[in-house]
Amino acid sequence: MMDYTKSYTGAQKSVDLGLRSYMLKVYNYMAIALTITGLMAYLVANVSPVTQMFFLVTPSGMIRGMTALGTVAIFAPMFLAFYFSFGLASHSIDKSRTLFWIYAGLMGISIAAISMQYTGESVARTFFVTAATFGATSIYGYTTKRDLTTFSSFLTMGVFGLIIASLVNIFFQSPAIYLATSLLGVAIFIGLIAYDTQKIKSLYYSVGGGLLGEKMAISAAFSLYLDVINLFIYLLRFMGNRKD
């Protein structure tokens, strides 16, 4: 007589091992992208010839404008993100990875422009806080039994609200709006990290491994990467010490 308990246990272990391997792949892709972004940001912010390729800089090291190449580099990620996301189904795995790495490199230029306004110590401190926050929140999203999809509409609307409020504040330059968007931004992207982690876990059970699973791992890493980058930017508004 077949032992169904042992059979079920073996299948469960197989799924768990597969899920763990899948999640590690997602985190590894995200880590590589963040490393590329960090290296590019460091080069642009600290190597003068590279800095001058993208930005017009004052003698004190503050940005006073962008070169033509810098303007293209700042806006290119927005179009690349659409191309990556909407063309994922037709892209090969190698092409998807390459687009992800290119996007991460371009984002490094934007991060350099932001981080150059703050002291190196406060940027490093914010990075470690961001990493710790991501780790704790992603673990929660992975382990919680609560269905986080109930928050998806709120989080999506929150992102659109952030974009609109930030655009409006370009003209008004209101400290109150700046503070409100910073607080909201931190809360929203912490929520998105937990939600996206749970969604990635759920998608694994629908997709599994193979070619589609590999593409989904890249797409999942891209989502988490964006969450981490945005969380870092909004935390930097609070934790960053601006240069005099």
Q: Which of these, 31, 61, 26, lies nearest to 44 by C-alpha position?
A: 61
pLDDT in the model for residue 3: 54
Give the SS3 label for residue 9: helix
Q: Which of these, 76, 85, 61, 62, lies nearest to 109 by C-alpha position?
A: 76
24 and 31 Cβ atoms separated by less than 8 Å: no
Distance, in Å, from the CA atom of 49 to the CA atom of 106, rounded to the nearest integer, reads: 17
pLDDT in the model for residue 11: 44
pLDDT in the model for residue 15: 56
Residues 6 or more apart whose Cβ sits within 8 Å of residue 91: 84, 99, 215
pLDDT in the model for residue 119: 87
Domain ranges of the chain: 15-239
Mean pLDDT, 10 residues at a time, over the chain (244 residues)?
46 65 93 96 92 86 84 90 83 91 95 89 92 95 90 88 86 84 92 94 75 84 95 90 79
pLDDT in the model for residue 166: 85
pLDDT in the model for residue 65: 84
- Note the pTM of the prediction, 2 decimals: 0.88
pLDDT in the model for residue 1: 46
Q: What are phi and psi of 56, to 5 degrees?
A: -95, 120
